[in-house]
Amino acid sequence: MKNIITQLNKLFESRVRLGIMSLLMVNDWVEFKRMKEMLEVSDGNLASHISSLEKAGFVEVRKVFVGKKPQTSYAATKEGKKAFNDHLDALETLLKNRD
């Protein structure tokens, strides 16, 4: 049981990072503006959390221009999906063995 706690990923302890990864697990790409609205966070808050996930190799960034406006979208990498699934598995195991 003690070993389960060590399997939780510290990067996913934040509500915002948990939300980011949850959105990216069920969508191929999510635009910054949409993610900001869904998570109800500020631009700076979202950007700093995405930056942490990107540095860990869990999030991929795509920047394109739509007309003359920049558009930034994000996707979970293969490593990010595995890390998040491992985190969820550890949480599930922890909850099942709470006795």
- CATH number assigned to the domain covering 2-91: 1.10.10.10
CB atoms near residue 87 (< 10 Å): 19
What 70-74 contacts at long range (C-beta under 8 Å, 24+ apart), as own/partner pairs, is 71/31, 71/32, 72/31, 72/32, 73/29, 73/30, 73/31, 73/32, 74/20, 74/24, 74/29, 74/30, 74/32, 74/35, 74/50
- For residue range 37-71, list pLDDT tens digits in order: 999 999 999 999 999 999 999 999 999 998 999 99
The full set of domain ranges for the chain reads 2-91
Mean pLDDT of the chain: 93
pLDDT of residue 5: 80
Residue 14 and residue 46 in contact, taking contact as beta carbons nearer than 8 Å: no
Whether the model clears a pTM of 0.85, i.e. scores above it, the answer is yes
